Amino acid sequence: MKNALLENLDKLHTTEMGVVRIKRNLSLDTDLVVEWCKTKIQSPRASVTRKGKNWYVSIDGCVITVNANSWTIITAHREKRGGHN
């Protein structure tokens, strides 16, 4: 089933600070953070949910947060184990 996030992947973007934050939180070794996130979001293994104004994508032990109105990738972080996010 398609959802608005998948239908609007071309609109995804982030800020310079967002790139720094996501790279730090996930220990990424790439400057292509938006492309990395798009690839993860499109994966058949991704669990995509919307809560309020944000989309949350859980995949491969991390959570990507996207603002549903502006299509801005706000942050991404490692999933917390044994608790609620």
Which residue is associated with the tokens 């044994």? Answer: 82
> What pLDDT does 51 receive?
96
> What pLDDT does 32 receive?
96
> What pLDDT does 34 receive?
97
Phi then psi for residue 47, to 5 deg, are: -105, 110
Q: Which helix (H) or strand (E) holds 45?
A: none
What is the CATH classification number for the domain harbouring 39?
A: 3.30.2310
Whether residue 84 lies inside any domain: the answer is: no
Whether residue 71 lies inside any domain: the answer is: yes
- Helices and strands (H and E) in the chain: how many: 3, 4
> What pLDDT does 80 receive?
82
pLDDT in tens, the chain (85 residues): 468 999 999 999 999 999 999 999 999 999 999 999 999 999 999 999 999 999 999 999 999 999 999 999 999 999 887 555 4
- pTM comes to 0.90
Whether residue 45 lies inside any domain: the answer is: yes
Residue type, 4: A
Whether residue 17 lies inside any domain: the answer is: yes
Whether residue 83 lies inside any domain: the answer is: no
Total count of domains within the chain: 1
